[in-house]
Amino acid sequence: MEYNIALIPGDGIGPEVVAEATKVLDKVCEKYGHTFHYTSLLMGGASIDVHGVPLTDETIETARKSDAVLMGSIGGNAATSPWYKLEPSKRPEAGLLKLRKSLGLFANLRPAYLYEELKGACPLKEEISDKGFDMMIMRELTGGLYFGEHKTEKVDGLDTAVDILTYNEEEVRRIAIRGFDIAMKRRKRVTSVDKANVLDSSRLWRKVVTEVAKDYPEVTLEHMLVDNCAMQLVKDPAQFDVILTENMFGDILSDEASMVTGSIGMLSSASLNETKFGLYEPSGGSAPDIAGKNIANPIATILSAAMLLRYSLDLDSEADAVEEAVKTVLRNGYRTGDIFSEGCKKVSTSEMGDLIAAAV
């Protein structure tokens, strides 16, 4: 089969980790007889440097015409980079928000899985980490506070900032349906996270999710307040299967979940629209402090490529092969610096990519 894949290397360590993920995808093509046609695109700081804006209309259209997009991280050091002296709408992260909105990427999937080989890197108590965990955080991605009206103005002589959080029932319903569909393929349990004791938007969220649940009698639904969920993630992460939540809560909780795995460098993500099209990227940042040193962990990006195979191209066996290759390499004791422990073999970014590709 032939597929068109858009690559957005991004900023910082992005080009390094995308190169390793592409290396693994090429091995998949070789083993399974596929052909991937890659188109490299600019976004974020890299696009600002060339075009003066973080995302061009041409990039959006090229991405739209592809079967899927694989992306590295974007952005830089906010304290030192000239990109952050620009107005907010011209900064690197604005390009990502615009791309999500333009392509209708409303469903963000962020798995958090504790590998047996990495339990020692988990910051939680041993009695907690020994139980392991395997959860999928489903975050609504194109509504809520991040996409509402933002303004700062003088009110009674005082600088006053306003950020508006808005959801309509259809925005909630479509992410809820996607969340329950994913749960049906997993352990059939959904924890819907909101702040319904305070926010009208959360009360609507809870109402619509409860309605959607009626169409999935095999799935157990639990409602949980976001502050309690934040506590439960470090107290007993094994209780969670699918966490379904709105944009800002999902942003925060998914980062928390990623860190209890031991390293954010291990966590993949997918952002999907109502078709099979998706944007796949590592959960971590661009880490400009280690860019170009060949020490970044490429596994999150490689696992994102596996999600691309599974969710956009329907190549489940190929995705399984990539995920199993990652486990094999970890089982054999190879580690990048962020997950290294005594007795293991430390490898570079490119060496880790080579090892995983060879194990496919």
Instruction: State the helix-helix crossing angle for 316-331 and 14-32, rounded to 10 degrees.
Output: 120
What is the H or E stretch that residue 183 is in? helix 169-184
As a whole number of angstroms, the distance between CA 117 and CA 120 comes to: 8
Q: Which residue has the tokens 């974007």?
A: 74
DSSP character at residue 106? -
Does 67 qualify as catalytic in the annotation?
A: no
CA distances from 18 to 88, 279, 328, 359 (A): 26, 13, 21, 18
As a whole number of angstroms, the distance between CA 193 and CA 202 comes to: 9
Does 84 qualify as catalytic in the annotation?
A: no
Q: Looking at 101, 195, 327, 346, which residue is catalytic? A: 195
DSSP character at residue 191? E
Does 3 qualify as catalytic in the annotation?
A: no
What Rg value do the Cα atoms of the chain yield, rounded?
20
As a whole number of angstroms, the distance between CA 10 and CA 223 comes to: 37
Does 251 qualify as catalytic in the annotation?
A: yes
As a whole number of angstroms, the distance between CA 107 and CA 93 comes to: 18
Q: Looking at 134, 181, 255, 354, which residue is catalytic? A: 255
* CB hemisphere CA count around 124 (13 angstroms): 26
257 in Cβ contact with 113 (< 8 Å) = no
As a whole number of angstroms, the distance between CA 193 and CA 213 comes to: 14
244 alpha-carbon distance from chain centroid = 14
Structure tokens at 72: 């590295």
Q: Looking at 57, 163, 227, 320, which residue is catalytic? A: 227
As a whole number of angstroms, the distance between CA 88 and CA 150 comes to: 11
In DSSP terms, 5 is beta-bridged to 38, 68
Does 27 qualify as catalytic in the annotation?
A: no
302 in Cβ contact with 24 (< 8 Å) = yes
Q: Looking at 146, 181, 188, 346, which residue is catalytic? A: 146
Q: Looking at 67, 241, 251, 338, which residue is catalytic? A: 251
Structure tokens at 305: 């490529």
As a whole number of angstroms, the distance between CA 263 and CA 265 comes to: 5
Name the residues annotated as catalytic.
146, 195, 227, 251, 255
